[in-house]
Amino acid sequence: MIFEDWGLVEYAEACERQLQLVEEVADGGLDHLVFCTHPPVVTKGRATTAEDMTGWDGSTIESTRGGRATYHGPSQIVIYPILNLTKPRAVFKERDIHAYLRALEETTVAGLRELGVKNAERRDTPPGELSLTGAWVGAKKIASVGIAVRKWISYHGVAVNILNDPQAHKGIRPCGFAPDVMTSLEKEISAAADLEHCKSALRKRFEFALR
- Encode pLDDT of 56-73 as tens digits: 989 999 998 988 999 999
Domains in the chain: boundaries = 2-209
What distances in angstroms separate CA 188 from CA 48, 108, 184, 192, 203, one per listed residue? 28, 15, 6, 10, 21
Single out the residue of 80, 77, 71, 42 nearest to residue 59, CA to CA: 42
What pLDDT score does 66 carry? Answer: 85
What pLDDT score does 91 carry? Answer: 87
pLDDT for 14 beyond 90: yes
2-209 carries CATH number 3.30.930.10: yes
* Dihedral, CA of residue 194, residue 208, residue 97 and residue 34, to nearest 10: 50
Considering 15, 36, 175, 198, which one is annotated as catalytic? 175
What pLDDT score does 119 carry? Answer: 97
Look over the chain and give the mean of its residue pLDDT values, rounded to a whole number: 95
101-142 per-position pLDDT tens digit: 999 999 999 999 999 999 999 999 989 888 999 999 999 999
Single out the residue of 88, 100, 80 nearest to residue 34, CA to CA: 80
Quick one: pLDDT band at residue 193, thresholds 50, 70, 90? very high
pLDDT for 39 beyond 90: yes
Task: Give the integer Cα–Cα distance in Å for 73 and 90.
Answer: 31
What pLDDT score does 76 carry? Answer: 98
Residue 175 is among the residues annotated as catalytic for this protein: yes
What pLDDT score does 177 carry? Answer: 93
